[in-house]
Amino acid sequence: MTEIQVGTEAADAASRSPQTPAIELDEVVKEYVSHGEVVQAVKGVTLTIAEGEFFSLLGPSGCGKTTTMRMIAGFEDPSRGNVRLHGQDVTNVPPNRRDVNMVFQSYALFPHMNVWENVAFGLRRKKVAEAEIKRRVGEILEIVDLTGREKRRPREMSGGQQQRVALARALVNNPRALLLDEPLGALDLKLRQAMQIELKRIQREVGITFVYVTHDQSEALTMSDRIAVMNDGMVEQLGTPREIYERPATAFVAGFIGTSNLLSGTVDCLRSGFAVLRLGDEDQVLAEGGSFSAGEPIAITVRPEKIGISTEEPTGDLSIVRGIVSEVVYLGLYNSYTVSLAQGAEVTVFQQNALDSTSTAERGDAVWLSWRPQHSYAIGS
């Protein structure tokens, strides 16, 4: 039982070629039985996470993101499908023999051990020489800025410090991938934002693949190289933060990431690669993406900050709609307008308070909303 498939550092380095993906999930399904019924928590997820990547699994609670991560860690056995770490099938390998480490949501520090012993735990199980343990624990505590606190017990530390102990305890083993399960959830906003930047710095410094589970879209956007947006046990969209934000593939992604306006109508005609959408008599909306034919019903999304609002008719090759301001909310950084369109839809518009803080329109004003055609995308249903 003492044989651990983690190998030596040299063997590690050899198999860590950038070509081999760090983690591969192949049609992974997780089913469990609840009240006599089979429930699928994860419905066939296929992912390839590259070496050194900061990868986020983002989605609402119950979307299967934590279950997916626990299958990578080995705490859950997939009902179907395979998990590969660096090309090696580990589907049936128990967690203690997998060379990935996890940072738990509640940290799960060992309460009866001090910081040093917590961090040294993994290396001691791997039977690393005591001098080597000393060096590596010292090194990692320096990286997470906990030098001098080795003798503290977890309960004597603040939430942010415990968080860093948890991080050090996992990172010190130089794992092939670090799995983080909503690690910042218990911290207050300021500390959370500081830790986001800190985590990104540490990840760059150690160069280890990070898989980050979160329901907080801004966290995922801030830190990730790529994001998989999950919903109802499936990956809705996979892409860089920019792609996910700018070009949401589904209505769910558009709604879950940031604020988004969803407008539906029928395609009137096609003009220079854009579909021209008819909403009301005087409105025209141009949308990118996909191939459409006239008369086809489609839905488009547009982000509130992309929309200009004015009381005079704008000119140019823009998407233009008319409406009545039904609400103006001052939010410091920007004003938020809610505009009711003639055909009943409501559009949210953010206008930055950059030049002067007086609002361009008041409640009840008739306004034109306009945006560039490339900022609205037709999305799948």
Partner 1 sequence: MKRLAPYLLILPGGLWLAIFLVVPMVFMASVSTQEGDVVNGFAQTFNFSVYGDALMQYKTQFLRSAGYGLVATVVSIALAYPMAYWIAFKGGNRKSTYLLLVLLPFFVSFVLRTVSWRFLLADDGMLLAPLKSAGLLPEDFHVLQTTFAVIGGLVYNYLPFMILPIYVALERVDPKVVEAAQDLYAARREAFTKIVLPLSLPGVFAGVLMTFVPMTADYVNAGILGGPENTMIGNIIQTEYLVNNDYPTAAALSFTLMAAMLIGIFAYAKALGTENVLEAAAR
Interface contacts to partner 1, rule CB under 8 A: 1-2, 4, 6, 73, 75, 94-97, 101-102, 104-106, 108-114, 117, 121-122, 125-126, 169-170, 173
CB 28 within 8 A of CB 82: yes
Least spacing, CB of residue 170 vs partner 1, in Å = 8
Nearer to partner 1, 208 or 325 (CB): 208
Distance CA 15, CA 131 (A): 26
- AA letter at 2: T
3-state secondary structure of 159: helix
Distance CA 218, CA 188 (A): 15
Count of residues making up the chain: 381
Distance CA 78, CA 59 (A): 20
Least spacing, CB of residue 20 vs partner 1, in Å = 22
Nearer to partner 1, 174 or 319 (CB): 174
For helices 189-206 and 130-143, give the axis angle rounded to 10 degrees.
130
Nearer to partner 1, 167 or 349 (CB): 167
Distance CA 311, CA 122 (A): 65
Least spacing, CB of residue 15 vs partner 1, in Å = 18
Q: In DSSP terms, which residues pair with 151 in a beta bridge?
A: none
Least spacing, CB of residue 209 vs partner 1, in Å = 16
Residue 48 structure tokens: 């390839």
Residue 141 structure tokens: 């505590």
Nearer to partner 1, 150 or 365 (CB): 150
Nearer to partner 1, 152 or 322 (CB): 152
Least spacing, CB of residue 168 vs partner 1, in Å = 12
Least spacing, CB of residue 199 vs partner 1, in Å = 18
CB 236 within 8 A of CB 71: no
Nearer to partner 1, 106 or 147 (CB): 106
